[in-house]
Amino acid sequence: MKFYCLCAMETVSLPESDLTSLPTVSVIVPIYNGEADLPELIQCLQAQRYPTDRVEYLLVDNGSRDRTSELLQSILHSLSLTQDNIRVRVLSETQIQSSYAARNCGIRATSSEILAFTDADCRPQPDWLLHLVQPFVQKVGQPEIDPEINLEIGVVAGEILPLSGNTLLERYADRHEILSQRHTLSHSFYSYGQTANLAVRRQALEQVGSFRPWLTTGGDADLCWRIQQTGSWQLQYAEQAIVQHRHRSTCRELRHQWMRYGRSNRYLHELYGVTLEQSLTAREVVYRLGRWLVKEIPLVCRQSLSQQNTSRLNASRLQTWIDSMLDTPIGLLCRYWRTVGQQQTKLPEMARHIEPLPVAAPARNL
């Protein structure tokens, strides 16, 4: 399935008349135990250049057990005392522990024309929302419909770039662009965007329903695929709509991430029949480790010795050397965890349920 790429300028500069005619947007952020991320997230939302009278931010607490709820109320109080006219609403989803159920809570609470999604541990850039919404309002030469609205675009995916990290595992993920939307956009079944940076036209949701609330992973692919399968909507990639996201920095976090990828593969296989990822076999492990020991390690050592005497090896070069030496073992671990996640899970019957979204009159003003 093809997707369409919008390569926008680094900074969006629109006439004042264009800014006032932009669609209404609700940015929905599910939060679970997000007290460490909330201060920076709010700063990023306050820095958005999208017209403040056209956007609201819905922060949905998904049953957090830390100080998230307290901090959210404190944020609301602080915003009420400042001159900042950013509109923030705090919602709560406690019945279902799932980020997709939390997003549905936000969807039900608004009638905005465009619904944008990001996560609490993401850092949207100031022009993020302008770039993300831009494909929905491109002029497409169809005056019989509406010269300002592109009704063929139902979903827009922005790009996800890493926040700077210094650990071995963060550097591994950065080299392999683990978080990039380019991987999901090239899926052989249909393109899809991750909900860390995604926008959906409300009309598309009214047609296919919201997220499957009982899913715990894979819901972003499921929603994008349902929308595209109607034949009425396209997905577009807005490369300059950027959020930054932290890579996993510990083995525990990395294991959880890749096992979740495996569970997602299984769920989507059961829902759509898509091919499962090839499982990692013992034979492949033996082959890859043998190649690593016999070929890759000697090659890295020779390259290091030829470039600079080891006694003068500085910290940066040593770090690069270590990264190269351990790239293959880390990659094998990730594939193993994905295989385990794929093999040890089954789609819960409740997760097949799609939450319908009643048709609502679009909100022209918030």
pLDDT band, very low/low/confident/very high, at 365 (cuts 50, 70, 90): low
What tens digit of pLDDT does each residue of 244-283 get?
A: 998 889 999 999 999 999 999 999 999 999 999 999 999 9
Name all domains of the chain by residue range, CATH numbers in brackets: 4-247 (3.90.550.10), 250-348 (no CATH)
pLDDT of amino acid 143: 45
Average pLDDT in the 338-360 region? Answer: 92
| pTM beyond 0.75 | yes
- Residues 348-360: what's their mean pLDDT? 90
Mean pLDDT of the residues in the chain: 88
**pLDDT tens column, 113-127:** 999 999 999 999 999
Residue pLDDT, tens place only, 70-80 = 999 999 988 88
Cα separations in angstroms, 234 against 104, 134, 204, 211, 224: 22, 14, 10, 18, 9
- Residue 330 in this model has a pLDDT that exceeds 90: yes
pLDDT digits (tens, 9 = 90+) for 170-227: 999 999 999 999 999 999 999 999 999 999 999 999 999 999 999 999 999 999 999 9
Residue 40 burial (CB count, 10 A): 14
113-122, 290-299, 324-333 — which is least confidently predicted?
290-299
Q: Round to whole Å and give the CA distance between 25 and 11.
A: 19
Return the structure tokens found at 291: 């190649």
Contact by Cβ (8 Å): 135, 156: yes
